[in-house]
Structure 1
Amino acid sequence: MSAAEVRPATPSDAAEIARIQRLTWRAAYTDLLGAEAIDELDAADLEGTWAETIEFPGSLVYLATEGEFTVGYCVAGPAPEEEAAAADGSAPEDATGLIAALVVEPRWGRRGHAGRLLGTAAGGLREAGLDRGITWVAQSDHATLGFYRRTGWNPDGTVRTLDTGRGMLREVRLTGTLRLELAH
């Protein structure tokens, strides 16, 4: 295996992040969103959105690389109040970070990239003064749910339902410490 690393993204990485998103969404979400919706992800618009995300204040965007290849990305930052609130709407006790996206290109899976990305993002969120993390995962995505459970993040009982245009997607919120100790 070539050297695997995680580094902060720069705006010049936007095209590569967009490529990974389109490819991964095609593999993971075609049944849910439909091939037409995936095909409509315009490369230029997606690249522009990623460049803005990378430069957005408080946004932490990291890339996983293996050798010369970019193989995944993670987006994190402070959790919006409405995302971090308890099911009854009360504010969380701890300062909360959000893992908004953690994606590894399928052909690079099972090589530790997701763990390195999550560990790096958790470190960045801790440096920003946050204590715990949350993320949303499709209830039917058993691989991702299993990954987070292995890191010590578990469902907290909060769910949301999103209208995909082709049906409803039920997501569960997972939460856990930002003091991760992942095996290397």
Structure 2
Amino acid sequence: MTGPVLRPMTADDCERVAEIRIGGWQHAYRGLVPQPYLDGLDVAEDAARHRERLLRGDGGVVNLVAETGGGEVAGWAAFGPYRDGDRRTGDAELYALYLRPEHIGRGVGRALLTEAARRCAAAGHRRMYLWVLQGNAPARRFYERAGFRADGAVETFAVGGDEVPEVRYVKELAG
């Protein structure tokens, strides 16, 4: 079996990507963020937000989709310069990596993550960071198997009226 086809996201992919992102939140974050928040996520609003950002340009953000046989969009990743408040560093950041739940464990996420890291290394970034919900054990194991490690940084963000902790992971990139 061959792996997924990775390609740049287009405006035509925005609805599929929104379905994947929202489905990913509803699947992976159940019990970690308030259920009313998850239930209130709206695909059309999210698709419009993605489309607007994609068409406007997002300051170095790269959006990739993974297609499986038959052209189905099975996953999405977004990455670019590391965000440290208002300043940029020479490092990269994986902003998002989401899959349709039925594609978890089939190599789609690994392909997207590997390609994101490869592109960031080729662009001269020495490290790649990402943030993952502290309670999301499956995602943490996935990133650890890919060579990322928690670096001790923890931040919270407000979602649905709750403060949710995230852990920062880092990986040294081969130049």
TM-score normalised by structure 1 residue count? 0.83
**Code of the aligned partner of 1:58:** G
Aligned-pair distance for 1:15? 0.5
1:74 aligned onto 2:77: yes
Residue segments in structure 2 that go unaligned for 5+ positions in a row: none
Aligned-pair distance for 1:167? 2.8
Distance, in Å, in 1 between the alignment partners of 2:104 and 2:132 is 17
Distance, in Å, in 2 between the alignment partners of 1:34 and 1:80 is 26
Which residue pairs with 2:17 in the alignment?
Answer: 17
Q: CA RMSD in A?
A: 2.3
**Code of the aligned partner of 1:63:** V
Q: Which has the higher strand share?
A: 2
Determine what percentage of the aligned residue pairs are the same residue: 29
Note if contact 2:34-2:162 (Cα within 8 Å) is conserved in structure 1.
Answer: no
Q: Higher mean Cα deviation, 10-19 or 22-31?
A: 22-31
**Code of the aligned partner of 2:62:** L
Distance, in Å, in 1 between the alignment partners of 2:127 and 2:174 is 8
Aligned-pair distance for 1:166? 4.4
**Code of the aligned partner of 1:73:** W
Which residue pairs with 1:28 in the alignment?
Answer: 28
Residue segments in structure 1 that go unaligned for 5+ positions in a row: 85-90
**Code of the aligned partner of 1:4:** P
* CA deviation profile, 1:73-110 (whole Å, cap 9, x unmatched): 101010123399xxxxxx97xx2101011111111111
TM-score normalised by structure 2 residue count? 0.87
